[in-house]
Amino acid sequence: MTDAMFLTDFDTPPAVGDVVTLDGEEGRHAAVVRRIAVEEIVLLADGNGRGIRGTVERADRSGLAVRVDELIEVPEPDRRIVVVQALAKGDRSELAVEMLTELGVWEVVPWEASRSIVKWAPDRVERALRRWRAIAREAAKQSRRFRVPVVSFPATTTQLVARIPTADLVLVLHEDATVPVPADLPSSGEILVIVGPEGGIAPSELAAFTEAGARAVRISDGVLRTSTAGAVAVGQLYALGAPR
């Protein structure tokens, strides 16, 4: 059985033999909802690549006390995959965040494309971001990812165009593209993947992206949903050698 994982902030870098406390909402969830018991082995991580594996010494309604048996450090990858996810109706964009987190992307950028059905009103942005970030945290725990991807503030098309020249490779997923994901991936830096909404990326947006240096690519012989297209593209990047 895979060890359960929980997220916490380490006040100081832990050392083998230390006892780390998991309290607050996460600790109560571990002890009361997950029913983690004394002597069980658990993983604790800070979401930024540092974690421990340890033995539970105390479990009650206030949380857990865990003895550190092993230190775990996940270094930053040389190549960072960033996915720009267009806002989508229902839970489709949230499903995309979940899958992208499970795959280990570095950052997810919400994008209100011109054809996005969903629009985040100014007074709903923070609430929507909290929702996406909570989904990323839970998906990281489920998939035992010691790094939780950054969920950035929503970007406009103009802001994405300005970001494209700063990335080392930018791919726009488009059903009319004729070339696949390139095999000549950069050895380091940022790989930016842009995923459109249900209605697709508008011609004006595609033109702006490609003029800024992005490449339009086709990742399937069919038209994928916005909720799955990013995950398929990231899987292809991994198959071509991008680091996990």
Q: Which domain CATH number covers 63? A: 2.40.240.20
The DSSP letter of residue 78 is S
The DSSP letter of residue 48 is B
pLDDT computed for residue 11 by the predictor: 85
> 53, 73, 93 — which closes off a domain?
73
What is the arithmetic mean of pLDDT over 109-118? 93
Q: Tell me how far CA of residue 56 lies from CA of 13, 20, 22, 140, in angstroms.
A: 18, 9, 10, 21
User: Is the pLDDT reported for residue 144 higher than 90?
Assistant: yes
pLDDT computed for residue 72 by the predictor: 96
Within 13 Å of residue 141, how many CA atoms lie on the same side as its CB?
A: 17
User: Is the pLDDT reported for residue 243 higher than 70?
Assistant: no
Tokens standing for 138?
């839970």
Tokens standing for 63?
């949380």
What is the arithmetic mean of pLDDT over 41-69? 96
Which candidate, 44, 97, 98, places its Cα nearest to that of 68? 44
User: Is the pLDDT reported for residue 106 higher than 90?
Assistant: yes
State whether 88 and 204 are in the same domain. yes
Whether 244 maps to a domain, the answer reads no
> 73, 94, 117 — which closes off a domain?
73
pLDDT computed for residue 223 by the predictor: 85
Query: Which amino acid does the sequence have at 232?
Result: V
pLDDT computed for residue 2 by the predictor: 84
State whether 175 and 215 are in the same domain. yes
State whether 162 and 183 are in the same domain. yes
> 73, 92, 112 — which closes off a domain?
73
Domain count, the chain: 2
The mean pLDDT value of the chain amounts to 94
Which candidate, 112, 103, 106, places its Cα nearest to that of 143? 103
Whether 114 maps to a domain, the answer reads yes
User: Is the pLDDT reported for residue 244 higher than 70?
Assistant: no
- The rounded distance, in Å, linking the Cα atoms of 73 and 96 is 27
Beta bridge partners of 50: 73
As a whole-number percent, the residues of the chain with pLDDT over 90 amount to 88
Beta bridge partners of 65: 21, 58
CB atoms within 10 A of CB 115: 14
The model's pTM is 0.93
pLDDT computed for residue 242 by the predictor: 67
> Would you say 209 and 162 are in contact if contact means Cβ atoms under 8 Å apart?
no
Q: What is the pLDDT of residues 148-196, one digit of tens each?
A: 999 999 999 999 999 999 999 999 999 999 999 999 999 899 999 999 9
> Would you say 144 and 127 are in contact if contact means Cβ atoms under 8 Å apart?
no
Residue 23, φ and ψ in degrees, nearest 5:
-125, -160
Q: Which domain holds residue 69?
A: 4-73
pLDDT computed for residue 205 by the predictor: 97
DSSP string, 101-151: HHHT-SEEEEE--TT-S----GGGHHHHHHHHHHHHHHHHHHTT-SBPPEE
Whether 161 maps to a domain, the answer reads yes
pLDDT computed for residue 222 by the predictor: 86
- When mean pLDDT is compared across 40-44, 51-55, 118-122, 230-234, the lowest value belongs to 118-122
**199, containing H or E segment:** none
- When mean pLDDT is compared across 19-28, 99-108, 112-121, the lowest value belongs to 112-121
> Would you say 81 and 234 are in contact if contact means Cβ atoms under 8 Å apart?
yes
State whether 22 and 140 are in the same domain. no
